[in-house]
C-alpha cells in the first residue's frame, strides 16, 4: 500500500494543532517581532499596511492586504534588515455612534471590544506585528496630538474658520456627509429633502501646499502611476488669468465686481455673457425680490446638487437664467448679460466664468440653446501670415486651438494666442482689473463634524474675547463619557453642559467649548509617525527616531485611498516639516495598491450573500492555507476571484509538504546524479522567489515554484520516497531551504517543520537562502547538427532543451546558416540529447 493512501498518524497535517501551538509560543515572546532601536547596526526597513477601522471583524480584503505585508516583512527580516512592522486602529467614526444607538453601548466600549476581537484574529492569523508600537486613535494619548497640531496650525494661520455650505437634515438637525444624501433626501429620513445651510466650519489650509503636493508627485517613482495621476487630477492645477467684470448699475452687499478665472483670456473679446454658479454670493443681490427669478435659481441649484450626488456633474444638461443685469468687459467696455447657470461650479475658480461660445465647447452648447451671440475672435494661423481682408473663413465652431491668431480683438489683433495670453494678463495687472493666476481644483480641507465620536477641536468661544484657543498645557480636551447620542438635535457634545461651559483662559469670563469634532482623516494623516514611538509624552513624535525610520519603505493598501488619505497625509508631512518636527517632505517612498477580492462575479458583501468569513476558513483549513491562498490565487495587484477549490488546493499542498517532512527517507552514499538535479532545481527556485520579492511581488509564481520544487523532489524519490537516490547532505539542504522559503507564506507550518529538523531558532532570525548561480546552471550536452545527413556543426545546449528549442538553436547556428545559403528547409529531425538533422532541397 502506498504511503500516500495510508499516512501514519504522525504524518497527518493538522493545522489547528500546529498553529495553536506556535501562536501560544509567539505570544509569550513578543520581543521576537519588535523593531530594534535606531542605533541598530542593521539597515532599517519600514513596512506598513493601512490600519483598519475596528468595525468588529476582519474581512477577506484585510487578510489579503496583511498577508502581502507580512510576507514582505518576514522576508526583509531574513534579509538582515531591522524591520518595523506595526499595526493600529483608525478608531473614531460614525459607525460607533450608530452602534451606540442600536445596541445602547457607549462608542468607546463598542470600539475597544471590537479592537480586542480583531487583534485576536490578527494574532490567530500569525501576522508578525510589533504590538509594542500599537496606536489607537480614539484614545486621549493619541488624539491630544491632533489637538496640539491643530493649535500649531491655528498659530500659523493654517487652521481658520469660515462660513461654508453644508448638507443639512432638519429632522436630524445635523450636517450630512455627501454620501449620506440619497436622492436629495436624508439617508435616515428618506422623505426629508436635504437643505443647504451656511455654517461656520474649521478648515485646514491644504491649498498653501497645492503646488508642492503637485510637484513632488514627480519625485515618487515608487508610487503607481495610476495613483499619481488621480492625485494630479484631484489637485487640478490650471494656469490662466483673473479678470474683474464690473457690475453695471447698483451694487449689493456682494460688491460691484465679478472676478472671473479663465485659461483663455486671449478670447475675451468673444465673451458674450458672464455666468455665475447658482451658489455665487452675488446671485442673491441680483435676484433681489424677484420671486420668479429666485425659484429658477433654486431649481438650477437643485439640478446641480443632484448631478453632484450622481457623480456626473460634467454631464449635466445645461440650464440657465438671465438675471436682467449686465457686467462690463474691462478690455472693451462692452456690456454683457449676466446669467446664472447650473453647470458653473462654485468650487472651481471663482464660481464665475466668461462665456465665449465661439471658442469653448460648453459655452457653445449653452449659447445655441439660449440664442446668445456667438462671436469669432481667433482663427487658424496660416504660415504666420495674417489673412487679407475678406479672405477670412469662419472655422468650424466651436474652434478652440491655441495655435491660432486673434481677430476682432482691438489692439490685440493679429497676435498669436500665446503672445496674447501673456500680454493681456500683463495689461490687466497694469490696468488694475486682473492678473495672471493659477487655480487649483483642490480646496481647503473642512474638518468640522457635528458628531460625538471624534477628536474635540480645542477651541473656545468667549463672550468678550471671541475665539480663544485652548492653552497647550490644558490638552488633551478629553471627550466626555456617558453622552446621550441620538443623531438628532445637532452635535451630542452641545448637550453636555458641564463639558461645554468653561472659563475663558484669557479673561476668566464665561466661554463655551467648540462642540464639533475633527474629520477622522486627521487621525490617519500622521498615525504612522506615532508608531515609531507611541510612548513619547512630551511631543507627538521623537524627531531622531523619525529621521531613522522615514520615509516608509513600503506602504500597502487599497486604491480607494489614492486621493483623500494619501493627499492629506502628504500635506500633514509637509506641515510637520515646516514646524521643524521632521526632515522628510514625503511620508512614503513606495506605495503598493492591492486588488479587490470578488466572488461569483461581484465584490463580497453581506447583502449579496457572497461573503467569505476568514474565521470559518481558518477553522476549516488553517491560517497558513487561508493566507497562502490569498497570495496564490493571483498576483497581489490584480482582482482576486475567490474559489473555494483554490483554498482546498493550497491546503492539499501544505499537507503534502508536511507528509514529506514527517516521512523518513532513506539516503544514498556519495554524490548521486539525483543530487545535482535537486540542487539545480533548488537554486533555480531560490533565484525565482528572491526575484519575485525584489521585483513585482508575484507571490503566486513564488508559491508555484515551491510546489514545482516539491514535486520534482518527490519524483526523484520515485513517488514512494523509498529509493536510495539522494544523499543525506542534499536531502538536508533541500529541507532547510524549502522551510526557509515557505516561511513568509506559511509561517506556522514552516516553524513546525523547522523544529522537526531539530532547529529551535525563530525563522525571522534565519538568513534567507543564498542563490548559487553555478549550482542553478543547467547541465549542458553536446549535440550534432547535420544537413542532409552530413555533420556541419556541434553545439552545447541545456540538457533538458525541448525539441522545439533544439530545432531553433540548430537552424540559428552560424555554420548551418552559411551552408543553407537560401536553400529550402523541408524538415528538421530531432533526436533529443543527440542530434538535429536538417533536410534541405
Distance of closest approach, residue 295 Cβ to Zn ion, in angstroms: 25
**Binding region for Zn ion (CB under 5 A) out of 162-170, 224-232, 273-281, 554-562:** 162-170
Q: Is 507 in the site for Zn ion (CB under 5 A)?
A: yes
Nearer to Zn ion, 169 or 258 (CB): 169
- Most distant CA atoms of the chain, gap in Å: 111
CB of 605 to Zn ion, least distance (A): 24
Min CB(457)–Zn ion separation in Å: 18
Grid coordinates representing 515 are 462642540
If one asks whether residue 166 binds Zn ion (CB under 5 A), the answer comes out as: no
Distance in Å, CB of 305 to Zn ion, minimum:
16
Instruction: Pick from 35, 504, 640, 721 the residue near Zn ion by CB under 5 A.
Output: 504
Pairwise CA distance, residues 721 & 711, whole Å: 11
Task: Please state the closest distance from residue 169 (CB atom) to Zn ion, in A.
Answer: 3
How is residue 829 annotated by DSSP?
A: E
Cell numbers linked to 606: 453581506
Residues 38-57 that bind Zn ion (CB under 5 A): none
> Around Cβ 314, how many Cβ atoms within 10 Å?
9
Nearest to 53 by CA among 479, 532, 447, 524: 524
* Three cell numbers, residue 718: 520515485
Shortest spacing between CB 451 and Zn ion, in angstroms: 14
How many residues lie near Zn ion (CB under 5 A)?
13
Point out which span in 103-111, 172-180, 244-252, 698-706 binds Zn ion (CB under 5 A): 172-180
Q: Determine the interface stretch with Zn ion among 414-422, 496-504, 616-624, 686-694 (rule: CB under 5 A).
A: 496-504
Name residues contacting Zn ion, limited to 406-465 (CB under 5 A).
462, 464-465
Give yes or no for a contact between 399 and 392, defined as CB atoms under 8 angstroms apart: no
**Residues 457-486: x where in contact with Zn ion by CB under 5 A, - otherwise, as a string:** -----x-xx---------------------
Using the contact rule CB under 5 A, the part of the chain among 167-175, 288-296, 332-340, 796-804 near Zn ion is 167-175
* Residue nearer to Zn ion on the CB measure, 230 or 465: 465
Q: Which of 119, 161, 188, 232 binds Zn ion (CB under 5 A)?
A: 188
Q: Report how far residue 841's alpha carbon sits from residue 835's, in angstroms, rounded to the nearest whole number.
A: 20
Among 87, 96, 138, 172, binds Zn ion (CB under 5 A): 172
Residues in contact with 758: Cβ distance below 8 Å, sequence separation at least 6, in sequence order? none
Q: Cβ contacts of residue 223 below 8 Å, gap of 6+?
A: 217, 588, 590, 591
What is the Cα–Cα distance from 764 to 33, expressed in whole angstroms?
8
N-to-C CA span, the chain: 57
State which of residues 169, 287, 321, 457 lies at the interface with Zn ion (CB under 5 A): 169
Task: Please tell me the distance from the alpha carbon of residue 323 to that of residue 121, in angstroms, as a whole number.
Answer: 63
Q: Which of residues 508-567 bind Zn ion (CB under 5 A)?
A: 509
| 506 binds Zn ion per the rule CB under 5 A | yes
Piece of the chain touching Zn ion by CB under 5 A; list 83-91, 297-305, 357-365, 506-514: 506-514
Are 359 and 398 contacting, i.e. CB atoms less than 8 angstroms apart? yes
Q: Which stretch binds Zn ion (CB under 5 A): 430-438, 498-506, 566-574, 784-792?
A: 498-506
Residue nearer to Zn ion on the CB measure, 123 or 180: 180
Which lies closer to Zn ion via its Cβ, residue 94 or residue 465?
465
Report d(CA 565, CA 817) in Å as an integer. 61
Stretch that binds Zn ion, among 353-361, 503-511, 567-575, 799-807 (CB under 5 A): 503-511
State in angstroms the smallest separation of the CB of 194 from Zn ion: 8
Which range of residues in 159-167, 182-190, 240-248, 567-575 is near Zn ion by CB under 5 A?
Answer: 182-190
Q: Is 373 left (phi over 0), alpha (psi -120 to 50) or beta?
A: beta
Region from 32-40, 313-321, 502-510, 600-608 binding Zn ion, contact rule CB under 5 A: 502-510
Residue of the chain from 125, 153, 181, 186 that contacts Zn ion (CB under 5 A): 186
Name the minimum Å distance from CB 535 to Zn ion.
36
Residue at grid coordinates 496583511: 66
- Report, in Å, the least distance between residue 468 CB and Zn ion: 6
Q: How far apart are CA 505 and CA 461, in angstroms?
A: 11
Q: Using CB atoms within 10 A of its CB, is residue 287 exposed (0-12), middle (13-18) or buried (19+)? A: buried
Q: What is the 3-state secondary structure (H, E, C) of 630-653?
A: HHHCCCCCCCEECCHHHHHHHHHH
Give the interface segment with Zn ion, choosing from 131-139, 189-197, 661-669, 734-742 (CB under 5 A).
Answer: 189-197
From the CB of 487, what's the least distance to Zn ion, in Å?
8
**Segment interacting with Zn ion, rule: CB under 5 A, options 170-178, 548-556, 693-701, 796-804:** 170-178
- Interacting residues with Zn ion between 745 and 784 (CB under 5 A): none
- CB-wise, 60 or 504, nearer to Zn ion? 504
Cell of 320: 440657465
Binding-site member from 20, 134, 171, 708 for Zn ion (CB under 5 A): 171
Q: How far is the CB of 512 from Zn ion (least distance, A)?
A: 11
SS3 assignment, position 198 = strand
Pairing between strand 501-503 and 510-513?
antiparallel
In the window 347-406, what residues touch Zn ion (CB under 5 A)? none
Helix (H/G/I), strand (E/B), else coil: 798: strand
> Is residue 265 within 8 Å of residue 239, measured between CB atoms?
no
| Residue nearer to Zn ion on the CB measure, 402 or 507 | 507
- The nearest distance, CB 545 to Zn ion, in angstroms, is 39
- Answer yes or no whether residue 597 interacts with Zn ion by CB under 5 A: no
Residue with cell 497694469: 430
Nearer to Zn ion, 87 or 485 (CB): 485
Residue 189 in contact with Zn ion, rule: CB under 5 A: yes
Query: Which lies closer to Zn ion via its Cβ, residue 352 or residue 462?
Result: 462
Q: At closest approach, how far in Å is the CB of 188 from Zn ion?
A: 4
C-alpha span between 211 and 219 (Å, rounded): 13
Which of 227, 206, 202 lies closest to 217, judged by CA? 227
Stretch that binds Zn ion, among 186-194, 238-246, 284-292, 578-586 (CB under 5 A): 186-194
Are the C-beta atoms of residues 411 and 420 closer than 8 Å to each other? no
- Which residues lie closer than 8 Å to 539 by C-beta, 6 or more apart? 581
Nearer to Zn ion, 166 or 186 (CB): 186
**Pair 110, 131: CB distance under 8 Å:** no
CB of 101 to Zn ion, least distance (A): 13
SS3 259: strand
Minimum CB separation of residue 474 from Zn ion in Å reads 14
> Given the complex with Zn ion, which of 189 and 375 has the nearer CB atom?
189
Residue 73 within binding range of Zn ion, rule CB under 5 A: no
Q: Which one, 185 or 397, has the nearer CB to Zn ion?
A: 185
Give the cell for residue 79.
Answer: 534579509
Nearer of residues 87 and 186 to Zn ion, judged by Cβ: 186
Burial classification of residue 226, based on how many CB atoms lie within 10 Å of its CB (0-12 exposed, 13-18 middle, 19 or more buried): exposed
DSSP per-residue string spanning 403-431 = SEEE-S-GGGTT-BHHHHHHHHHHHHHHH
Burial tier of 539 (Cβ tally within 10 Å: 0-12, 13-18, 19+):
exposed
By C-beta, is 434 or 458 nearer to Zn ion?
Answer: 458
Choose between 62 and 451: whose C-beta lies nearer to Zn ion.
451
Instruction: Give whichever of 171 and 691 is closer to Zn ion, judged by the CB atom.
Output: 171
Cell numbers linked to 578: 515646516
Residue 801's alpha-carbon distances to 188, 779, 796, 807, 834, in angstroms, are: 68, 10, 11, 10, 11
Applying CB under 5 A, the residues found at the interface with Zn ion are 169, 171-172, 186, 188-189, 462, 464-465, 504, 506-507, 509
Amino acid at each position: 500500500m502506498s504511503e500516500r493512501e495510508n499516512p501514519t498518524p504522525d504524518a497527518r497535517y493538522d493545522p489547528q494543532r500546529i498553529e495553536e501551538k506556535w501562536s501560544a509560543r509567539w505570544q509569550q515572546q513578543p520581543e521576537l517581532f519588535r523593531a530594534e532601536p535606531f542605533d541598530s547596526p542593521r539597515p532599517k526597513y519600514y513596512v506598513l499596511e493601512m490600519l483598519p477601522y475596528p468595525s468588529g471583524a476582519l474581512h477577506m480584503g484585510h487578510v489579503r492586504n496583511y498577508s502581502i505585508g507580512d510576507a514582505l516583512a518576514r522576508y526583509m527580516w531574513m534579509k538582515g534588515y531591522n524591520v518595523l512592522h506595526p499595526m493600529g486602529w483608525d478608531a473614531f467614526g460614525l459607525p460607533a455612534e450608530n452602534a451606540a444607538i442600536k445596541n445602547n453601548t457607549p462608542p468607546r466600549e463598542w470600539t475597544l471590544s471590537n479592537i480586542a476581537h480583531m487583534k485576536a484574529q490578527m494574532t490567530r492569523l500569525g501576522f508578525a506585528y510589533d504590538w509594542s508600537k500599537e496606536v489607537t486613535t480614539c484614545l486621549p494619548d493619541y488624539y491630544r496630538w491632533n489637538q496640539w497640531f491643530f493649535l500649531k496650525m491655528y498659530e500659523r494661520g493654517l487652521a481658520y474658520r469660515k462660513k461654508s455650505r453644508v448638507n443639512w437634515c432638519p429632522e436630524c438637525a445635523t450636517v450630512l456627509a455627501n454620501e449620506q444624501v440619497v436622492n436629495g433626501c436624508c439617508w435616515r429620513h428618506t422623505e426629508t429633502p436635504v437643505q443647504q445651510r451656511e455654517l461656520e466650519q474649521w478648515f485646514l489650509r491644504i491649498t498653501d501646499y497645492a503646488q508642492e503636493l503637485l510637484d513632488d508627485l514627480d519625485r515618487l517613482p515608487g508610487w503607481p502611476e495610476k495613483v499619481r495621476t488621480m492625485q494630479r487630477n484631484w489637485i487640478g492645477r490650471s494656469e490662466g488669468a483673473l479678470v474683474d467684470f464690473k457690475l453695471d448699475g447698483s451694487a449689493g452687499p456682494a460688491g460691484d465686481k465679478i472676478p472671473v478665472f479663465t485659461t483663455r483670456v486671449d478670447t475675451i473679446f468673444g465673451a458674450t455673457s458672464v455666468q455665475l454658479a447658482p451658489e455665487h454670493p452675488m446671485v442673491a443681490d441680483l435676484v433681489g425680490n424677484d420671486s420668479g427669478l429666485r425659484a429658477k435659481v433654486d431649481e438650477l441649484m437643485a439640478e446641480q446638487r443632484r448631478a453632484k450626488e450622481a457623480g456626473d456633474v460634467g454631464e449635466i444638461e445645461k440650464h440657465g437664467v438671465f438675471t436682467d443685469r449686465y457686467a462690463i468687459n474691462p478690455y472693451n467696455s462692452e456690456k454683457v448679460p449676466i446669467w446664472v447657470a447650473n453647470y458653473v461650479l462654485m468650487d472651481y475658480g471663482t464660481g464665475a466664468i466668461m462665456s465665449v461660445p465661439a471658442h469653448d465647447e460648453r459655452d457653445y452648447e449653452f449659447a445655441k440653446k439660449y440664442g446668445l451671440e456667438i462671436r469669432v475672435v481667433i482663427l487658424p494661423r496660416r504660415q504666420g501670415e495674417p489673412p487679407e481682408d475678406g479672405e477670412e473663413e469662419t472655422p468650424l465652431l466651436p474652434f478652440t486651438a491655441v495655435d491660432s491668431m486673434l481677430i476682432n480683438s482691438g489692439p490685440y489683433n493679429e497676435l498669436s494666442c500665446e503672445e496674447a495670453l501673456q500680454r493681456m494678463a500683463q495689461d490687466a495687472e497694469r490696468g488694475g482689473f486682473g492678473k495672471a493666476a493659477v487655480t487649483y481644483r483642490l480646496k481647503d480641507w473642512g474638518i468640522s463634524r457635528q458628531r460625538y465620536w471624534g477628536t474635540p477641536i480645542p477651541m473656545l468661544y468667549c463672550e468678550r474675547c471671541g475665539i480663544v484657543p485652548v492653552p497647550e498645557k490644558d490638552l488633551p480636551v478629553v471627550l466626555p463619557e456617558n453622552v446621550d447620542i441620538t443623531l438628532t438635535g445637532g452635535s451630542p457634545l452641545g448637550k453636555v453642559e458641564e463639558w461645554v461651559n468653561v472659563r475663558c483662559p484669557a479673561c476668566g469670563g464665561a466661554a463655551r467649548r467648540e462642540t464639533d469634532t475633527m474629520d477622522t482623516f486627521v487621525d490617519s494623516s500622521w498615525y504612522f509617525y506615532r508608531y515609531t514611538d507611541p510612548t513619547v509624552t512630551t511631543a507627538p513624535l521623537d524627531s531622531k527616531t523619525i529621521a531613522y525610520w522615514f520615509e516608509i519603505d513600503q506602504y500597502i493598501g487599497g486604491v480607494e485611498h489614492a486621493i483623500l488619505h494619501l493627499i492629506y497625509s502628504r500635506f500633514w508631512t509637509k506641515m510637520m516639516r515646516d514646524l521643524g518636527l521632521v526632515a522628510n517632505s514625503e511620508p512614503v517612498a513606495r506605495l503598493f495598491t492591492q486588488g479587490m477580492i470578488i466572488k461569483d462575479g461581484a465584490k463580497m458583501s453581506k447583502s449579496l450573500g457572497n461573503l467569505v468569513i476568514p474565521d470559518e476558513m481558518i477553522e476549516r483549513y488553517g491560517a497558513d492555507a487561508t493566507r497562502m491562498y490569498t497570495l496564490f490565487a493571483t498576483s497581489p495587484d490584480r482582482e482576486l476571484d475567490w474559489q473555494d477549490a483554490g483554498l482546498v488546493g493550497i491546503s492539499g499542498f501544505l499537507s503534502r509538504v508536511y507528509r514529506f517532512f514527517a516521512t523518513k527517507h532513506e539516503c544514498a552514499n556519495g554524490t548521486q546524479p539525483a543530487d545535482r538535479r535537486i540542487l539545480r532545481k533548488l537554486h533555480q527556485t531560490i533565484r525565482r522567489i528572491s526575484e519575485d520579492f525584489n521585483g513585482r511581488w508575484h507571490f503566486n509564481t513564488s508559491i508555484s515554484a515551491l510546489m514545482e520544487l516539491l514535486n520534482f523532489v518527490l519524483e526523484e524519490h520515485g513517488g514512494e520516497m523509498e529509493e536510495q537516490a539522494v544523499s543525506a547532505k542534499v536531502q538536508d539542504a533541500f529541507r532547510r531551504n524549502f522551510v526557509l522559503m515557505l516561511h513568509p507564506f506559511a509561517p506556522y507550518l514552516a516553524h513546525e517543520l523547522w523544529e522537526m529538523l531539530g532547529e529551535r531558532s525563530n525563522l525571522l532570525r534565519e538568513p534567507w537562502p543564498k542563490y548559487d548561480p553555478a549550482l542553478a546552471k543547467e547541465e549542458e550536452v553536446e549535440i550534432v547538427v547535420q544537413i542532409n545527413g552530413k555533420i556541419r556543426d556541434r553545439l552545447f545546449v541545456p540538457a533538458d532543451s525541448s525539441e522545439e528549442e533544439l530545432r531553433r538553436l540548430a537552424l540559428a547556428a552560424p555554420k548551418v546558416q552559411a551552408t543553407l545559403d537560401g536553400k529550402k528547409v523541408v524538415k528538421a529531425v530531432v533526436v533529443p540529447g543527440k542530434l538535429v538533422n536538417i533536410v534541405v532541397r
